[in-house]
Amino acid sequence: MSLPIPLPFERPIFDLETQLERLESQANPSETTRDAIRQMRVEIARLKREVFDNLNPWEVVQLSRHDMRPKASDYIELVFDEFVELHGDRAFSDDRAILTGFAKLDDTRVMLIAQQKGRNLKERVEHNYGMAHPEGYRKALSKMQMAAKYGLPIICLIDTAGAYPGIGAEERGQAYQIAYNLREMSRVATPIVCVVIGEGGSGGALGIGIGDHVAMLQFSYYSVISPEGCASILWKHQRFADKAAHALRFTGKDLLSFGIIDEVIPEPLGGAHRDHRRTAANLKASLNVALKSLSQMDKTQLLDHRYGKFRKIGAFEEKSVEAVAEAAAT
């Protein structure tokens, strides 16, 4: 794969890699050149660890949106052995922002629900940049209910900036359909594994995000609102998006500590956009472990576990005024 266009914080790494590529292209390198190549490889690895171990939330957002980052279609090709797509919501149309169908993960047959953004402009227009309409969420739910009928586990790959906010979508019940999906997914009597592979924006992500095991790739985010949307509301301008990103606490590390997700899936050094195959291998391993664990639960245990998981999110403790005053005094 050719080197991707670097993000600002990747520029020093990219410059070194360009130099390394130039040295390695020499036909008969001298011993001095070979030593320089070895040292440069060590320096690139060190710099990658330094940069990517210390990314701030806004930089994570930029990585989650990277043009070269693997999309759902890439994971369908690299993780699953076969995929038979199912179309339509039986009511209005086939929303291409959400792909649904039968898939095979090693020896396990699953129902795959995936939000697809598209790679180039033509694909992005076809898939509406991954922003689903109500018919997309209806399609997803009907396929989940089909999976439960045939005893198939469900895998949801989440990658959207949010549900489509257009007038037509609202007229066809966008908010209602997302809320309906939340309720009905909590009742689907088969294992559900959800993974945020890029952006996990607001109700658009949550509409296929109620699962028994919820994971995120390392450089993805999962938030009630985009940083730009938050900045526009709180600071009246999108230029404060980086400030909003810090305040929202939406990275995998934060959400794991809050108990909102169950796992952060590591990405290769330098991010998923640099090594699709290794990222896909990490995702596949995580899916296999999660499905194996969930398969040991019967339907009653599964639904009780799922209900309890989401019911406890946002739990808080109340203290008396006296206790607060005493704590402040100490």
Residue 321 placed within a domain:
no
Residues 25 and 101 in one domain: no
Residue 224 placed within a domain:
yes
Q: Where are the beta strands (DSSP E) in the chain?
A: 82-86, 98-105, 108-115, 154-160, 192-201, 213-217, 221-223, 263-265
Tokens at 160, concatenated:
């959207």
DSSP conformation letters of 81-141 = SEEEEE---SSS---TTEEEEEEEETTEEEEEEEE---SSHHHHHHTGGG---HHHHHHHH
* Domain count within the chain: 2
pLDDT at 84: 96
Q: What residues pair up with 158 in beta bridges, in sequence order?
A: 196
Residues 307 and 224 in one domain: yes
Residue 323 placed within a domain:
no
Residues 42 and 169 in one domain: no
pLDDT at 25: 83
Residue 320 placed within a domain:
no
- d(C-alpha 75, C-alpha 78), whole Å: 5
Mean pLDDT, consecutive 10-residue segments, the chain of 330 residues? 72 88 83 86 90 93 94 96 93 94 96 94 92 96 96 97 92 94 96 97 93 97 93 92 94 93 94 94 97 94 94 77 70
Residue 327 placed within a domain:
no
Residues 244 and 138 in one domain: yes
- d(C-alpha 96, C-alpha 100), whole Å: 9
Asked if 78 contacts 280 with a C-beta cutoff of 8 angstroms, the reply is: yes
Residues 68 and 39 in one domain: no
Kindly report the CATH number assigned to the domain that includes residue 157: 3.90.226.10
Residues 109 and 221 in one domain: yes
Residues 122 and 225 in one domain: yes
In a 3-state reduction of DSSP, which class is residue 38?
helix
Q: What is the pLDDT of residues 134-172, one digit of tens each?
A: 999 999 999 999 999 999 999 999 999 999 999 999 999
Residues 17 and 117 in one domain: no
pLDDT at 187: 95
Residue 22 placed within a domain:
yes
Q: What residues pair up with 118 in beta bridges, in sequence order?
A: none
The domain in which residue 170 lies consists of: 61-311
Q: What count of other Cβ atoms lies within 10 Å of the Cβ of residue 145?
A: 17
